[in-house]
Structure 1
Amino acid sequence: MKKYAIIVAGGSGSRMGGSVPKQFMLLKDKPVLYYSIKTFLETYIDLQVILVLPVEYTDMGQEIIDAYFDKDRIRITAGGDSRFQSVKNGLSLVEEDSVVFVHDGVRCLISSDLIRRCYAMATETGSAVPVVPSKDSIRVLTEDGNEAADRNTIMLVQTPQVFHSKILIPAFQIDYKDKFTDEATVVEAFGLKISLVEGEERNIKITKPVDMLVAEKLLVEGA
């Protein structure tokens, strides 16, 4: 079945405090975004990448593609005002029945093994969302204050979130709601259940400067 990876890198990266968005910052002399694209392209030779970028940085994204990748396998589209709209923009380029990966561009340590396991689950059940257990104690805010929650019932969500296009595209036709923090919440609101896959601890999301240091160390250790 045809495969698409919508790599969402539409954020401004304000928490990083840099002059360019975090997806374009250099990690071991290459842009953060490079690593996510590279892993997907190497995992499946029949996979197409749809890169969603801030409109003002599409030229920079094209420069990365021209420098490192086969441009025939990657298309660029502009992001929207929300993740929901950015993913919807990416989905508009999905042209046939397929399995669609939606991945945070700044989760640059994604592995081929996780991509394959998510694909296998999605082809079986229609969806696959990687998660890892919470290592920390959890407290839930309530009207009266807060209370402890059983961390064994709490899972931390990662990407890629993977769905059959016949599920994901119709789901993104519903009206946007603030609770849509990822693709799984959209599909659930559409009335479908989500299948979970064991994620990876090293599949971190770069949001702050310290994350760049951690990612560089993990890249060195994995080299």
Structure 2
Amino acid sequence: MVKVAALIVAAGRGTRFGGDLPKQYLTLGGRPVLRHSLARFAAHPDVAVTRAVIHPDDRDLYDQAAQGLATLLEPVPGGAERQDSVRLGLESLVEHTPDVVLIHDGARPLIDGALIDRVIAALAEHPGAIPALPVADTLKRGAGGRVGETVDRSGLWRAQTPQGFRYPDLLAAHRAAAGRTLTDDAAVLEAAGGTVALVEGAEENVKITTPIDLSRAEALFRGPGEPRIGSGFDVHRLGPGSFVTLCGLEIPHDHGLVGHSDADVPMHALTDALLGTINAGDIGRHFPPSDMRWKGADSAIFLAHAGALITALGGRIVNVDITIMCERPKIGPHRARMATRLGDILGLSASRISVKATTTETLGFTGREEGIAAQATALVMLPF
């Protein structure tokens, strides 16, 4: 798979915004503006590493904004200009050897996963790609308070971030452009002779530049939120053993479940359901079975990770529903403890967790007691 790194550029002072606090640390929806961007990239299943470039004086502010986002790399200090900050951030990623890098403005908090997907996909065929929107308004060139001429808007686009590039190409281009002043990273690659593709941007992906921008973004967080429903399904075969692990409990049985981790079928299904609510891929993309770190791992790690990603995005788990499919063992005697255990992991009341079971009337692989299956559904409220 292509290894993707994300650089969140947040070293600016926000002089156009005014005030004593840099705009990326102002509050939006109850959280710092920068945290929204950090959380979205940290949650994206294809982004392997995420690092912020910050002003050296802002470390305490950054630590508050990034609190709880354990997957982030340590931030690095930026330079005098944005272009310097990006170059320094790129240099700091050399040891991580990414294939592609995404450069995003820390003051663009409303980025969504689908836009990130589009930029990454375009890099399979192009050395660079940026999200953009066609200019819809009539453009005027003015001087002295008067219109000088009407500018042809055909072929003009409003560039956004994240801008994506093949990492070696952009690093070389930034090194070559040191000392020059270019408007964005696409311009840096263009100056080095690279081509940049356009992908569809998003109107919501605004940059917070003025107090009015922040007020408009804040309006998205005033409603009850947006309901998101996710579903998950998992199967593990039965093999030698004396217990099965279901919803975090070791239940005595004359067989065991076989899997790379502890093979907790319902917990895996629930993890996928929660990841689905935020379009964050599936459990295998976050915890690949090829990675020996997860050999025999407690599946509570996976479930807690999914819950933390939702919380980081400002989301709230409303309820979850799990159905376990097996002939044996009997689930009924353990349902209450299962709900309690899942609630402990997710910080959710057991009253919001339903654990059910069914047989398949001796039909299929579960009926023949060759394996156990589970499906899960989750409802999450996201801020917008």
TM-score under structure 2 length normalisation = 0.54
The whole-number CA distance in structure 2 between the counterparts of 1:220 and 1:40 is 23
The whole-number CA distance in structure 2 between the counterparts of 1:196 and 1:46 is 20
Deviations 1:3-46 (A, max 9, x none): 11100011111222222100000111100001001111111265
Maintained 8 Å contact 2:16/2:209: yes
The whole-number CA distance in structure 2 between the counterparts of 1:54 and 1:216 is 25
Number of the residue aligned with 1:165 = 167
Letter in 1 for 2:156: I
Maintained 8 Å contact 2:40/2:111: yes
Kindly state the Cα deviation for residue 91 of structure 1 after the two structures are TM-superposed: 0.4
How many residues in Structure 1 have an aligned counterpart in Structure 2?
218
Structure 1 unaligned regions, length at least 5: none
Number of the residue aligned with 2:137 = 136
Kindly state the Cα deviation for residue 195 of structure 1 after the two structures are TM-superposed: 0.7
Segments ≥4 residues shifted beyond 6 Å: none
Other structure's SS at 1:73 match: coil
Q: RMSD value over aligned CA atoms?
A: 1.8
TM-score under structure 1 length normalisation = 0.91
Other structure's SS at 2:194 match: coil
Maintained 8 Å contact 2:122/2:197: yes
Letter in 2 for 1:83: R
| More displaced 10-residue stretch of structure 1: 159-168 or 9-18 | 9-18
The whole-number CA distance in structure 2 between the counterparts of 1:158 and 1:169 is 20
The whole-number CA distance in structure 1 between the counterparts of 2:3 and 2:39 is 18
Kindly state the Cα deviation for residue 177 of structure 1 after the two structures are TM-superposed: 1.9
Higher relative contact order (CA 8 A, sep 6+): 1
Structure 2 unaligned regions, length at least 5: 227-383
- Call closer, same or farther: CA 1:25–1:131 in 2, change over 3 Å: same
**Alignment pair present for 1:23 and 2:31:** no
Deviations 1:135-188 (A, max 9, x none): 21112469xx8322221221011000000112111001113323x010011000
Maintained 8 Å contact 2:128/2:194: no
Structure with the higher fraction of residues in helix conformation: 1
Kindly state the Cα deviation for residue 220 of structure 1 after the two structures are TM-superposed: 4.4
Maintained 8 Å contact 1:47/1:73: no
- Call closer, same or farther: CA 1:19–1:195 in 2, change over 3 Å: same
Maintained 8 Å contact 1:122/1:163: yes
Other structure's SS at 2:79 match: coil
**Alignment pair present for 1:176 and 2:179:** yes
Number of the residue aligned with 1:188 = 190
